[in-house]
Amino acid sequence: MRRRDTNSRRGFLKSTAATTAVTVLSRNAETEAAAEALAAPGPNDKVRIATIGMGIIGFIDTDCALKTPGVELVAAADLYEGRRTRVKEKYGDHVSTHVDYREILDRKDVDAVLLCVPDHWHSAMSIEAMKAGKPVYCEKPMVQTLAEGPDVINAQHETKAVFQVGSQFASSIVFDKLRDMIAAGAIGKVNVVEARYNRNSSLGAWQYTLPLDASPDTVDWDRFLGKAPKRPFDATRFFRWRNYQDYGTAVAGDLFVHLLTAIHHATGSHGPTKVAAMGGLRYWDDGRDVYDAILSLLDYPATQAHPAFTVSLQCDFEDGGGDATSFRFIGDEGVISTDLDSLKLERKGISWPTAEQELKGYNSVQTFSKAQQEAIAAKLAKEPRKASARTAYSGPETFKPPAGYDPRYDHFVKFFTSVRKGDPVYEDAVFGYRAAAPALLCNASLYESKLINWDPVKMQVVG
């Protein structure tokens, strides 16, 4: 995956810059240029999309994709009748709706698919869609289980499909800025990253509203189950599937994957070598079989891209202080913090004491005999004092994306640029798996009470 060749991509976009003026949502110059290029008339000047899974994110992703120039919706699939009705109400009768997504994959007039289905469908549907020749935008996490990763990677490799994972933090201008600041030496050597994704509401804790007409007549339950164990119709499991291990990936798979995507993007990392997690179900005990609070530690080895660092991840659905997603990238020369709406650098570095501080400050010297104190004072007077060697950094210390900035749009522009112009896939299956796998390993560690070793290059559990 060529994710860092922004210079060559910029050059390409400039050379193809369209004359057609378009209004775009992002104030990211690179995205605007790419969106303008997509508006240019050309042999493939329309991308006809179909969305499979018209739930909460299905509508959000479709709306966002449709804001990209040259994209139109021709079909959608969903298993709940009410959502198929809603598709027609919202996008018009000309959009065909389907229960069986395979009908969409068979259609020649569908140029690309968005997969917005629950996690237990991601890998099978992605592979089928790629084999059917469709470019795929698959929501995160790329896979529900560790074992599914290599199959998706192989399918992308074999079919050469445009396959982009929908973790939009990878396209965020906030994390681009963070990456550039780290690369420019703003914090020296990164040694710890703290990240959290906390919530304090029932909706945040996945207690989504069930429709009043939910029944086996309005929901294709058997089709929903797919590879999951057979069981009788259960509307709660269908509409709140995240709360059950059979369909979702628990808090870590669902939300840590965003944090890891951002961390891997900002540091250029392939992933950790050690993963450990603890947590439990403490508040939202509504019949779910997943935890609602988790803390994880992940150890990253030194590579050519970055020094060794340790990551702590937190997701707490009962954070009485309010919901918050935030990161602190800690280096020996400074710290960059972001809450996604702003980014701030603090540079203090490591401090060394003056001779005065060493002799009189909070230190051992004053506990020594007078003779020793005098001897140390005389020695210090002759020695040069240590000072921290700071990297020269003259870049920005703060950054704020435009109000209402949504990296999802930037992510979709990248996807459609790959579909239309053949640009390298931005967040491909390898990147997607390298972000999903450690998140899934957090679940394994929590469930099995053990530390797990991982080879992030070979993408395999070790031992």
Ligand X SMILES: NC(=O)c1ccc[n+]([C@@H]2O[C@H](COP(=O)([O-])OP(=O)(O)OC[C@H]3O[C@@H](n4cnc5c(N)ncnc54)[C@H](O)[C@@H]3O)[C@@H](O)[C@H]2O)c1
114 in contact with ligand X (CB under 6 A)? no
Instruction: Return the residues of window 214-233 that contact ligand X according to CB under 6 A.
Output: 223-224, 226
CA dihedral 106→112→116→121, nearest 10 degrees, is 50
293-300 and 163-166: which strand pairing?
Answer: unpaired
Tokens of 64: 């966002």
166 in contact with ligand X (CB under 6 A)? yes
Q: How far is the CB of 76 from ligand X (least distance, A)?
A: 9
58 in contact with ligand X (CB under 6 A)? yes
CA 455 to chain centroid = 20
Site pattern 373..412 for ligand X (x: CB under 6 A): ----------------------------------------
- Residue of the chain from 31, 53, 126, 335 that contacts ligand X (CB under 6 A): 53
d(CA 319, CA 282): 11
Sign of CA dihedral 197, 263, 141, 50: positive
Q: How far is the CB of 139 from ligand X (least distance, A)?
A: 3
User: Which residue stretch of 1-9, 73-81, 414-422, 432-440 sits at the interface with ligand X (rule: CB under 6 A)?
Assistant: 73-81
79 in contact with ligand X (CB under 6 A)? yes
Q: How far is the CB of 406 from ligand X (least distance, A)?
A: 10
Q: How far is the CB of 408 from ligand X (least distance, A)?
A: 7
121 in contact with ligand X (CB under 6 A)? yes
Q: How far is the CB of 124 from ligand X (least distance, A)?
A: 9
Angle between helices 173-183 and 407-421 (to 10 degrees): 90
Return the bridge partners of 314, or none: 196, 295
279 in contact with ligand X (CB under 6 A)? no
φ, ψ (nearest 5 deg) of residue 396: -65, 155
**CB closer to ligand X, 164 vs 273:** 164
Tokens of 97: 């709706």
- Residue of the chain from 24, 36, 96, 118 that contacts ligand X (CB under 6 A): 118
Q: How far is the CB of 265 from ligand X (least distance, A)?
A: 14
> Cβ(51)–Cβ(114) under 8 Å?
yes
112-115 and 47-52: which strand pairing?
Answer: parallel
**CB closer to ligand X, 39 vs 52:** 52
Tokens of 403: 């109000």
91 in contact with ligand X (CB under 6 A)? no
Residue whose token pair is 């990677």: 153
- Residue of the chain from 3, 140, 199, 237 that contacts ligand X (CB under 6 A): 140
Q: How far is the CB of 303 from ligand X (least distance, A)?
A: 27
- Residue of the chain from 117, 152, 330, 430 that contacts ligand X (CB under 6 A): 117
**CB closer to ligand X, 216 vs 396:** 216
- Residue of the chain from 13, 33, 37, 52 that contacts ligand X (CB under 6 A): 52
**CB closer to ligand X, 39 vs 257:** 257
**CB closer to ligand X, 47 vs 138:** 138
Tokens of 28: 């990211």
64 in contact with ligand X (CB under 6 A)? no
User: Which candidate, 27, 114, 17, places its Cα nearest to that of 63?
Assistant: 114
User: Which residue stretch of 23-31, 50-58, 63-71, 197-205 sits at the interface with ligand X (rule: CB under 6 A)?
Assistant: 50-58
291 in contact with ligand X (CB under 6 A)? no
Instruction: Return the residues of window 231-270 that contact ligand X according to CB under 6 A.
Output: 241, 254
Interface ranges with ligand X (CB under 6 A) = 52-58, 77-80, 83, 101, 116-119, 121, 139-140, 166, 168, 223-224, 226, 241, 254
